[in-house]
Structure 1
Amino acid sequence: MINMKKIITFILCAMALNANAQQPVEGTTYFLPKTAVQFRILIEKTTYTPGELAVYAEKYMKMQNTDENPSVAYRILNTTSNSYGIPDTTKQHTAIVDKKHSIIRINKYANGMLLAINAEPKTIEIVKDFKASPKPAAVNPRDFMNSDILSAGSKAKMAELIAQDIYDIRESRNQLSRGEADFMPKDGEQLKIMLANLNKQENALMQVFEGTIVKDTIEKVITFIPEKEVNKQVLFRFSRKLGFVDSDDLSGRPIYISVTDLHSIPPLKLDIDTKKSKDDCGVYVNLPGSIRLSLYDGNKPYKSFDIYAAQFGRTESISGELFGKKFTTHIVLNPVTGNADELKTEPLE
């Protein structure tokens, strides 16, 4: 015979346990970080514009193989890296705030990432984007042409007159350098100024034959989140003629990245042994693992960076005893790895 009293008692107990399980924990919810990497690649862009009279460069200036077609070329100057933290949604915890624990202040980033407990957080350093220095204003060759050149009836005649002007400038400079000019400067400073003006005139006029080359330095930022060990995964592709191209565009040569787990995890140093404690107050930190990021230009090693990454380590619980009635603890987390950069325990009076 079924004992109805026992069944009812069992149901009531189950309901009570379910109700207790669904009660929200009082505290502050936060995330520990995952480590992301930014590669900052400096690229030099070289733009060549042929001279207006490039076709006459060999005839009048004895310049051979003058390129009459415009071109653009790119090359990588340097690659640097910086790490930063992003919230790891798989590491969401709730720090218990109650009368039993001395968790007074919890500092989080705007994205919910834990920065400090009972302490001032570290300042998150923001890497500034590259800003190129201002370039001098371009020189217009026509500003240095006399009336005869400007009124020449054909390109060929203009090229002839400009070439003659350039040769005259060179002769004047040689006479000044040898001290044989009809009007010599009074001192060295005046000589320096006169020679600089002659050089400026010659360089401006030579542009009509040899063209101009303009160099610009630009920065490309690539974000990479290492999740596991990989061997020569395409990070980006780079073309000498086009610069950065899509990762599946075979016109660019591949720049690979390899991720190697160095299997090195620094221990958490505590002043007090709390291994036997069962008091979980919801405070966790990361013990990040060391990894090596290796870049390859094709099969040729290019650069490597050793960093600590949160996702290659493990998570460590901080015992509630450290926030109990006998002690209080101040923790400052590394905003990149979530490791405890500062962990100070002090007794309570």
Structure 2
Amino acid sequence: MKTSIFTIILLLFTSALFATTKDDKKKDIPGSTSGAIEGVVYSLPQTGIRIHIKATRERFVNGPFCNYASKLLGIDNAPTTSSDRWNMDEMSLETFSQPDPDQVYKAQGQAAQLVSLTESGVLAGINADVNAQESKMETQSFLTKDLQNRVSFTDLSIWSFYSPTDSTKSYKMVSKNTDQKAAEAAETIFNLRNSRFALLTNADDEPLPDGKAFEVMRDELAKMEENYLALFIGKSSKQSYEFSFDYIPGEKTAKGEVFFRFSDDRGVLPKADLSGRPIVIEITKDDNLASKQNALSASANPEAGKSGLYYRMPGMSEIRIMDGSKQLAGARAPIAQFGTTAPVPENLLDGSYKLEFFPNTGAIKSITENK
């Protein structure tokens, strides 16, 4: 009987010991929720710079009779080759924000239940309903339309395309050569000039039409002469384009960073295209402001940062876009990564206050008591 009681006690003790050991091992299993600290991961923003460029491309096409301009019209140095000419007409700067991969935190405890985030995961508010509107996506396009088809010459000839037939040609129709066509075009130009001169001087001594009709006749004669003249001196067409480029500065002053490239004959190009000259960006950080921010950002509270909530104090910058020694554009703007970060005071995270942040810079926008 004593042996049986002793056996039962031994079995109970062994079972309890085994259960305890099993529970201890369970606590050591990776991923076990026992004692885990949960939270909400968020980011602080970093500032980017976006440039918008409006450019004009002028496509020039030489005239089909350019080699006859001097001989038939007395126009020297008529262009004999086609070309493109680009010009940057307007440039503007703006800032945008995106999550900073170097500023990712986890809100813990009660504070994790109070945070509001933007669509991209940037801290927007604490204990507040924040309507954070994300900016629309900007597309960087490097496509340019082909202007080749926009510049063309219409056959304006008022003469036959064929030479008169006779017995020497066996009465066969023979196409006129370029020399003949150029000579006829030049003759038409002189005829138009004579007609315009006669109209303006009333050479025929006849009653002139009323004012409006006179203007129409004069303008039409001038337009016809211009079209014929283009056969010798060429003509051009213009087309406008818009481009945009993005740049994300670091935490320090940047100089000589290539933003994009530009070529007088190829236009606005991405910075990887070495066929254009570099257009650089210079961003000067306000070090005086940054040093004062750093001096005051530290907290004397030993519990500071316990909830894992931080905000940014953005720094100021001066931005310049340079083409060599020539400044094309400039602005002053706050840059989030030029400033510093600081913990949100713990006494503001007990649910009694509402905090709202600027999503673009991460700075505190407002602190109000939750009534």
- TM > 0.5: yes
Q: Given the alignment, which residue of 205, 224, 227 partners 1:204? A: 227
Q: How does 1:15-94 map to 2 (within 5 A)?
A: 23-26=36-39, 28-94=40-106
Equivalent residue letter for 1:294: R
Equivalent residue letter for 1:112: G
Match in the other structure for 1:9: none
Aligned-CA RMSD value: 3.9
| Partner Cα distance (1:97, 1:150) in 2 | 94
Q: TM-score, normalised by structure 1?
A: 0.75
In the alignment, is the contact (CA less than 8 A) between 2:43 and 2:122 conserved in 1?
Answer: yes
Query: Alpha-carbon deviations, 1:33-83, whole Å to 9, x = none?
Result: 111112223333222211011111112222110111122233333332221
Q: Given the alignment, which residue of 294, 298, 321 partners 2:347? A: 321
Question: Which shows bigger deviation, 55-64 or 251-260?
Answer: 251-260
Match in the other structure for 1:158: 181
Query: Alpha-carbon deviations, 1:220-263, whole Å to 9, x = none?
Result: 32221111223323434433233356757765433333221113
Against the structure 1 CA distance between its residues 296 and 155, is the aligned structure 2 distance closer, same or farther, given a 3 Å change threshold?
same
| Partner Cα distance (2:224, 2:341) in 1 | 69
Query: Alpha-carbon deviations, 1:158-217, whole Å to 9, x = none?
Result: 112212222222333334344556776643222333233223322222221111212233
In the alignment, is the contact (CA less than 8 A) between 1:290 and 1:309 conserved in 2?
Answer: yes
Q: TM-score, normalised by structure 2?
A: 0.71
Equivalent residue letter for 2:186: A
Equivalent residue letter for 1:192: E
In the alignment, is the contact (CA less than 8 A) between 2:118 and 2:359 conserved in 1?
Answer: no
In the alignment, is the contact (CA less than 8 A) between 1:322 and 1:345 conserved in 2?
Answer: no
Against the structure 1 CA distance between its residues 82 and 41, is the aligned structure 2 distance closer, same or farther, given a 3 Å change threshold?
same
| Partner Cα distance (1:232, 1:108) in 2 | 34
| 2:264 is equivalent to residue 240 of structure 1 | yes
Query: Alpha-carbon deviations, 1:133-167, whole Å to 9, x = none?
Result: xx99756431x332436877121221122122222
Percentage of identical aligned residues: 22
Match in the other structure for 2:356: 331
In the alignment, is the contact (CA less than 8 A) between 1:43 and 1:219 conserved in 2?
Answer: yes
Against the structure 1 CA distance between its residues 320 and 244, is the aligned structure 2 distance closer, same or farther, given a 3 Å change threshold?
same
Which structure dedicates a bigger proportion of its chain to strand? 1
| 2:124 is equivalent to residue 115 of structure 1 | yes
Q: Which runs of 5+ in 2 are unaligned?
A: 1-23, 164-174, 294-298
What is the count of residue pairs matched by the alignment? 320
Q: Which runs of 5+ in 1 are unaligned?
A: 1-11, 269-273
| Partner Cα distance (1:217, 1:292) in 2 | 29
| Partner Cα distance (2:138, 2:197) in 1 | 48
Match in the other structure for 1:295: 321
- Between Structure 1 and Structure 2, whose CA radius of gyration is higher? 2
Match in the other structure for 2:20: none
In the alignment, is the contact (CA less than 8 A) between 2:151 and 2:235 conserved in 1?
Answer: no
Which structure dedicates a bigger proportion of its chain to helix? 2
Against the structure 1 CA distance between its residues 184 and 275, is the aligned structure 2 distance closer, same or farther, given a 3 Å change threshold?
farther
Equivalent residue letter for 1:63: I
Equivalent residue letter for 1:239: S
